[in-house]
Structure 1
Amino acid sequence: MDATRVLAKLRYDAALPIGMALALLSGGAQAQGVSLPTIEVQGAGDGTGGAGGPAAETARGPVNGLVASRSATGTKTDSALIETPQSISVVPSQQIEDQAAQSVSQALRYTPGVVSESRPGRYDSVFVRGFGGGGTAANYVNYLDGLKLQRAINYGVPSVEPYGLSRIEVLRGPASVLYGQGNPAGIINLISKKPTPEPFGEVLLRVGSYGEKQAAFDIGGPVNADRTLMYRVTGLTRGGDTQVQYTRDERVYIAPAFTWKPDDATTLTVLAKYQNDPETGFYGFMPAVGTVLPNKNGRIPTKFFPGDPIFEGFSRKEAMIGYEFEHHFNEVFTVRQNVRFMDLDSYFKTIAGAALTMPGQSIITRRATYSREHLAAFNADTQVEARFNTGALRHKMLLGLDYQYGDSSAWTGFGGTVSPINWLAPVYYQPFTPASAGYIDQIASQAGVYLQDQVKWDRFVLLAGVRTDWAKADIVTRATGASTKLNDRAVTGRAALLYLFDNGVAPYASYSTSFDPVTTLGFGGTPFEPTTGEQYEAGVKYQPPGMNAFIQMSAYQLTQQNVLTADPTNIGFFVQTGEVRARGIEIEGRATLMEGLDLIAGYSYIDARVTKSNVAAEVGQPPVAAPRQTASVWAQYTFQGGPLLGLSIGGGVRYVGESNGDATGFFTVPTVGRIPARIPAYGLVDAVISYDFAAVNPRLKGMKLQVNAQNLLDNQYVSSCFSQSCNYGLRRTVLATLSYRW
């Protein structure tokens, strides 16, 4: 189904939420027994960082520095982080810039509870609290501006350029009460850069390791004198090789945005994005023997390419357009609607390594895989927010209706006849015969209605919500005409309580649930129920009065039920009797310790275990590629005077603990036997140095030179294994960036 047909089909669905919202507002603020809330007005800057002083932070806007104070991801309302009783991390654009993150997953390197580069490369696949990451359980960066980034059937997964973001937010734990179906570990929400009423501009040039070259710009400001019309255009082009031979990473990105603000009560922002990734680097596997396990011929080089240059590549094109609308009717009612349409094309082809032959330990068997995919997707979320008092209770109530629709197709082949390759003396450009391909079409939709109330009484904050979802899917195999229809309904909820002390300490406790439909079928074509998740969390947040700092600590138990496990009767099929449980603690701190000195630190301990499975060897094992411990610290200091004025130096250390490389806890290697499948822990060092040229000449104000070194000590490490297919982590990367702002 093309884009025109999708929009026509959904015209009524998109209009329905607006009609519902207006009907709810017809009573206005005159409802009996309801009093208007007290409006607090505080002095602030002009909201842009211009002549009026520092920008007043909003939940959906940029952060001043590295310490955020507000977020909308956890509540869908503009709320203070100290008053939100759930664990949330905010990565501001300043951190993305300081650490020269080239992808969203790289920007999450210093976020506790998140392992973001278990498979570095073309996808932003992540683990959160031990769930997700790779294979069929992949948890990809999945929300943009509060709307889900839908994916196609197999390899068609959208990616977002971090240069176009003002912040990245991680909401840990089940989020279905606000967002519907999803991974029980939480969501990652990306917030786009938006127009501002003050004119600004930036251009930058970057060169780096493996021949990388990048140019980018970000310009915007008012269109007219009264600043009711504003624009912003962000663009980037990048290209270079990677650490693996015969592979490249290339991107072209452009994101225009336009805001119409006719008065203080109404805002309409149109957001568009186009991204073309002609090449996306290497995403294949290496054998365990020769990477994480000894090989009698030595270690397989990180630059070794197991494929063939004549059949290797992954291209992706994404186009998105949508809007964010908000209108305040009065002191009580506000209505918002966010809408986005996305069109995604991807083409994947590779000759991938399959297994290492024994006993020579140098010959790798291979297979060919290819897939052309297309996705047309639509999302809409309409919210009515009401702020009112009932006696001593202050309410911020939210009623919402969201809808998502995706029409995707995939032409995929897997297998074929391919000659093996000797990693000691590789010979490329060999003939091969790929497998025949088959077409699959899939139409999936979800509609949800949710109600949430944030209630403040004295120093208590109560957050409660409930949601009902209807999820449908229709999967058709064209060759046979076989059709599988799924129709699921789920009710999820959340309840939490927080107490605000005068000294900035806020302890809280929460309970939340989630669901996620399963498209795999059991023996005889039997459909499965959605997997479900539930989490108990308790924690404490601390925002020291008078200090730019935020510290949070949480402890949780997260359980996923209805997990697929091997069918004991019908080999090759599944039954739904598995369960995974994760218990852990997380600590995160962000602070400006003194003028010019910023600090980010985090630690996570996760005891994740398979608690139920029909495969006895899996019970008690941690999920594959989910380390028990991670820790990180980043510090940066900008000299405030003297001969070093304008100089900034910083660095960080990242530690990722030992992880499991096989669901059973053992690699079974031919002629060798069973070997514990333990992926060694690793530590990485990053560094940055920059210089602001305004320190030597005021006419050079806005010009800065920055040099980043990621994995400074060039640690060669294995980031993860999935059975005996392993991934190397990224080697040392040096990036030099010259930027000019005005």
Structure 2
Amino acid sequence: MLYTSVLVIADQWPGALHVAHAQSTNGASLPLIVVESPAPRAPRRPVRATSPAQRAAAISQPKQVAASVVPKETAGGPVRGIVAHRTGTGSKTDSSIMETPQSITVVTREQMTSQGARSIAEALRYEPGVISETRVGDRFDNVFIRGFGGFGANANYLHFWDGLRLPRGINFAMPSVDPYLLERVEILRGPASVLYGQNNLGGMVNLISKRPSATPQGEVFARVGDHNRIEGGFDVSGPITQDGQLLYRLIGLGRKADTEVNYTSTEREFIAPMITWRPTADTTFTVRAVHSRDPSTYQPNWLPALGTLRVNANGQIPRNFFAGHPNYNSYSRTQDSIAYEFEHHLDETWTVRQNFRYMNLSSEIKALSVTGFGAGSTCGAGTTANVCIGRQSTHYIENLQAATIDNQAEAKFATGWLQHTVLAGVDFQKSSSDATFGNGATTYVNYLNPSYGTIAGPALTTQTIQERDQTGVYLQDQIRLGKLAAVIGVRNDWANATSDTRTIATGVYTNRSHPSDSATTWRTGLTYLFDNGLAPYVSYATSFEPTIGTDYTGTAFVPTTGEQFEVGVKYQPNGFDGFVMLSLYDITQNNVLTMDTAHLYAAYPACTQSGINCQIQQGQVRSKGVELSAKLTPIPGFDVIAAVAHNEIEITKSTQVVSGISIQGKVPVGAPANTASLWADYTIQSGQMMGFGFGGGVRYVGESFGDNINSTAMIVPAYILADAMLHYDLNGLSPQLKGWKLALNVTNLFDKTYVSACASAIQCFYGNGRSTMGTIRYQW
């Protein structure tokens, strides 16, 4: 497909003729294209067609635009290359990233494809301040942002999909969105409660879906890799009717693979039909359905620190060691969702929107979870104790239903010299979760010579039912005065939750919690846009996040609250495509949940291995840091992505004592202080090798702590990983091969064995070994 540097914007007036060079996807110059460009000063909002004939003409206009013309970038649309300029995540309006006074980066579709991302976690590898693979696998996507994350029930799972909250179940019923469905992944750092309600203070990840296209297009691909990986998919889109009122998109994928851990596999299949109806130039209605099925998923067991993080005199635990049981361990998930997006322009000032999604998810997990080392005799006569690993069986069946709706009214107007974009909204979300589970006996296996024998799963003994709902009302004003851009917003939330746990045999409730909370949050920020591309900014924001459950004493949790101060500067260079951002932040969060396994298991027998009643609110956490990121295309065909982050996170208030040591002043588990990454990709622009490209990257993750008392024995060392990539657009080889592309991606190029993180002395995680994938793709 051909591209040009000229943006043809259908909603602006025709004006002077401009001449521009067109380029192919590999950057080679093509003949000059002459197009109509707008006059220097365009109206603030498009002049809208009023008669039926005018509206029909406006709707069908995309058919008349040459395929070589790049469409105008919008907040939810595709991006050419790796540099995005607009976002809706930071404001819920189509806004410039430069004018948004908060740290935002965007992983574009092209970046995900180039780096061979197979999950959202892998797509986030090169983003500043984000740690996405503390526990590897494709079962769940959880992240640390600016030091805030967690493990198990406290993990910071992905947050939003097309601006609507992704629900979460009680324990293992967590949604998963495949990156092949997405146009972009946006990371907004710091609080986002003013627009989205309850949210993690460190930041949010917003997944932006692909949408139907007015221009016919499509692709099919096939992929093979190590560990018997095989995968295929398709993505086709275009108009259904000649007048362009109906558009469609259909995306499908299937994959199956073994993994580097013995007796584990992963499998996924999904189909996603979408349709857009545009009856007039002022009205758009898009419906999207996704059916996804994961018969098996990959998330290796945690393992003891002795033998992974620390040297075991008997020998290290092999990276491919399977701590479960080949005939028992499994995880399956079926996920269905239907969503719609409605937008209508009432006039030149007012626009209304309504976004909705309903999701149904069911999951079942059977697992053996490592409890530590047992006596040597439990693994047979003559066995050394420190090679005999204990594992407790567990069985969970969960169902999750959730619905969320967001109603918005946007007004654009002027008051004197001030230009306003005012957004008012009401959103509502409700979820219902039902988990039936049981825990069984502890069995043992010798990791040096595993003999799994037979196993009987536990009985389902306990049921937990949770209901959550939240209503929020918000108001935001984006103000522009010359080169000064300001934003101010306020929101009030009302949140209710119930959580009831009972013993199935007796019907007796063992844990009941019915919190009801409300909170007001607000934010404000300023950005000044210099002519040279620099845009310094400053912002302040607060957050609110309800918390379900009780601690080990039966006391109900209170909501977490927090605030952030942030200053920074963004830079958009003149002369080539690029975006650079430097930000400094100071975050304080109160009433933070944590789970202290070693202390509470011994002191409170009611605290079970599944995490029920194991959580405590440790007081206050403060995170300070600096982030520098850059995404640049300095010359045609050459992309550079760089990121550096330093984070100082500390438990600043706590009465908790572990093994006689106060955790106040300590660093939370799993949060490294330093990260850095660099990625480069070059495609040859001319000559016999035109279309051939190569690249790679280096990722550094600094050391972290594996316990809350920050003992020297539980320091997880820093690690450096290398990735490599080759790709070839065969159009450069022959015009008859136009549309055919080959790619080879290798991650962890040198097959480094490393521990990615530890959550406790019995919960350490190996990182991924080397992975190699070859892809053949045909696009039209």
Please give the alpha-carbon distance, in whole angstroms, between the structure 2 residues aligned to 1:275 and 1:575. Answer: 35
Flag the 1:681–1:379 CA change in 2: closer, same or farther, 3 A: same
Displacement of 1:419 in angstroms is 2.2
Which whole-Å CA distance do the structure 1 matches of 2:403 and 2:43 have between them? 36
- Aligned: 1:148 with 2:165: yes
Amino acid at match of 2:141: D
Q: Structure 1 CA distance, aligned partners of 2:330 and 2:414?
A: 59
- Note if contact 1:563-1:580 (Cα within 8 Å) is conserved in structure 2: yes
Match of 1:733 in 2: 771
Match of 1:699 in 2: 736
Q: 1:50 to 1:302 in 2, by over 3 A?
A: farther
Does 2:97 correspond to 1:81? Answer: yes
Which sits farther off after the overlay, 135-144 or 651-660? Answer: 135-144
Check 1:701–1:656 CA distance in 2 against 1; reply closer, same or farther (3 A cut).
Answer: same
Q: Distance in 1 between matches of 2:666 and 2:79?
A: 40
User: In 2 relative to 1, CA 459–40 (structure 1 residues): closer, same or farther, beyond 3 Å?
Assistant: farther
2:455 equivalent in structure 1: 431
- Residue 644 to residue 99, structure 1, CA distance change in 2 (3 Å): same
Give me the whole-angstrom Cα distance separating, in 1, the residues matched to 2:327 and 2:668. 36
Q: Which residue of 1 aligns with 2:669?
A: 624
Instruction: Work out whether residues 261 and 300 of structure 2, in 8 Å CA contact, stay in contact via their aligned partners in 1.
Output: no
8 Å CA contact 2:698–2:723 kept in 1: the answer is yes
Aligned equivalents of 2:63, 2:348: Cα separation in 1: 21
* Alignment correspondent of 1:508: 537
Alignment of 1:562-641 (within 5 A): 562-564=591-593, 576=617, 578-614=619-655, 615=657, 616-641=661-686
Alignment-derived partner of residue 517 in structure 1:
546
Question: In the superposition, relative to structure 1, how do residues 374 and 146 fare at CA in structure 2: closer, same or farther (>3 Å)?
Answer: same
- Counterparts in 2 of 1:101-112, with a 5 A limit? 101-112=117-128
* 1:643 counterpart SS class: coil
CA contact (8 A) 1:440 1:476 kept: yes
Q: 1:380 aligns with which of 380, 397, 405?
A: 405
Equivalent of 2:753, from 684, 700, 716?
716
Change (3 A) 1:177 1:47: farther
1:404 aligned to 417, 429, 451, which one? 429
The answer to whether the Cα contact below 8 Å between 1:47 and 1:54 also exists between their aligned partners in 2 is: no
Partner residue in 2 for 1:179: 196
| Distance change (3 Å), C-alpha of 1:346 and 1:219 | same
1:170–1:242 CA distance, 2 compared to 1 (3 A): same
What's the counterpart of residue 464 of structure 1? 488
* Aligned residues of 2:295 and 2:333 also touching (Cα < 8 A): yes
* Greater Cα shift, 398-407 or 426-435: 426-435
Match of 2:281 among 239, 250, 264: 264
Q: 1:406 & 1:92 partners in 2: Cα distance?
A: 30
Q: Structure 1 residues 523 and 738 mapped into 2: Cα distance closer, same or farther (>3 Å)?
A: closer
CA distance change for structure 1 residues 50 and 709 in 2, over 3 Å: closer, same or farther?
A: farther
Are the counterparts in 1 of residues 293 and 333 from structure 2 also a CA contact under 8 Å? yes
Q: Which amino acid aligns with 1:379?
A: T
Write out aligned runs for 1:7-406 (5 A): 38-39=44-45, 51=67, 53-121=69-137, 122-357=139-374, 360-406=385-431
Cα deviation, residue 118, structure 1: 0.3
SS of the residue 2:404 aligns to: strand
Q: How far 1:103 moved relative to its partner?
A: 0.2
Shift of 1:529: 1.9
Q: Specify whether residues 577 and 658 from structure 1 end up closer, same or farther in structure 2 by C-alpha distance, changes over 3 A only.
A: closer
Give distance in 2, aligned partners of 1:379 and 1:280.
27
Instruction: Deviation per CA, 1:374-396: give whole Å up to 9, x if none.
Output: 01100100100000000000000
Distance 1:438 1:707, change over 3 A: same
Secondary structure in 2 matching 1:278: strand
Structure-1 separation of matches of 2:697 and 2:501: 50
Residues 1:642 and 2:687 are matched in the alignment? yes
- State the AA in 2 paired with 1:676: A
Amino acid of the structure 1 residue aligned with 2:628 = I
1:419 equivalent in structure 2: 443
1:695, CA displacement in angstroms?
A: 1.7
| Cα drift, residue 79 of structure 1 | 0.1
Query: Which residue identity does 1:488 align to in structure 2?
Result: D
Whichever residue aligns with residue 617 of structure 1, its letter is S
User: Is structure 2 residue 515 aligned with structure 1 residue 490?
Assistant: no
Shift of 1:544: 1.2
Which amino acid is the alignment partner of residue 64 of structure 1? R
Residue identity in the other structure for 1:578 = G
The 1-side partners of 2:743 and 2:653 are apart by 51
Q: Distance in 1 between matches of 2:455 and 2:687?
A: 66
Which residue of 2 is the match for residue 549 of structure 1?
578
Given that residues 597 and 638 in structure 1 are in contact (C-alpha distance below 8 angstroms), is that contact kept between their aligned partners in structure 2?
Answer: yes
Q: Distance in 2 between matches of 1:277 and 1:49?
A: 41
3-state SS of 1:132 partner: coil
CA distance in 2, matches of 1:633, 1:589: 10
Q: Using the TM superposition, name which of 676-685 and 49-58 deviates more.
A: 49-58
Write the letter of the residue equivalent to 1:292: L
Secondary structure of the equivalent of 2:128?
coil
1:475 paired residue number: 499
Offset at 1:612?
Answer: 1.1
- Residues in 2 aligned to 1:98 and 1:564: alpha-carbon distance in whole angstroms: 38
Unaligned runs of 5+ in 2: 1-41, 48-60, 376-383, 608-612
Kept in 2: contact 1:406–1:444 (CA 8 A): yes
Q: Residue 308 and residue 179 in structure 1: after superposition, are their counterparts in 2 closer, same or farther (change >3 A)?
A: same
Pairwise CA distance, 1:476: 2.1
- Going from structure 1 to structure 2, the CA distance change for 1:433 and 1:224 (only over 3 Å counts) comes to closer
How far 1:575 moved relative to its partner? 6.3
- Contact 1:50/1:198 (<8 A) preserved: no
Contact 2:104–2:186 under 8 Å retained in 1? yes
CA distance in 1, matches of 2:647, 2:173: 30
Residue in structure 1 matching 2:564, options 535, 546, 563:
535
- Whole-angstrom distance in 2 between the partners of 1:307 and 1:577: 32
Q: CA separation of 1:576/1:251 partners in 2, compared to 1, >3 Å: closer, same or farther?
A: closer
Q: Which residue identity lines up with residue 193 of structure 1 in the other structure?
A: K
Aligned to 2:717: 680
| Offset of residue 619 of structure 1 | 1.5
Q: Which shows bigger deviation, 295-304 or 98-107?
A: 295-304
Percent identity of paired positions between Structure 1 and Structure 2: 47
Taking the aligned partners of 1:210 and 1:218, their CA distance within structure 2 comes to: 26
Aligned mates of 2:626, 2:90 — CA distance in 1: 19
Instruction: Give the C-alpha shift of residue 337 in structure 1.
Output: 0.6
Report the alpha carbon displacement of residue 692 of structure 1 after superposing the two structures with TM: 1.4
Give the 3 Å change call, closer, same or farther, for CA 337–48 of structure 1 in structure 2.
Answer: farther
Q: Which moved more, 1:240-249 or 1:618-627?
A: 618-627
Q: Is the Cα contact below 8 Å between 1:48 and 1:196 reproduced in 2?
A: no
Question: Structure 1 144/49 Cα, relative in aligned 2: closer, same or farther at 3 Å?
Answer: farther
Following superposition, the deviation at residue 546 of structure 1 comes to: 3.1
Computed over aligned residues only, the root mean square deviation of the Cα atoms, in angstroms, reads 2.0
Partner of 2:175, secondary structure, is coil
Change in Cα spacing, 1:659 to 1:143, as seen in structure 2 (3 Å) is same
Contact 2:689 2:733 in 1 (8 A): no
Name the CA shift for 1:67/1:48 in 2 (closer, same or farther; >3 Å): farther
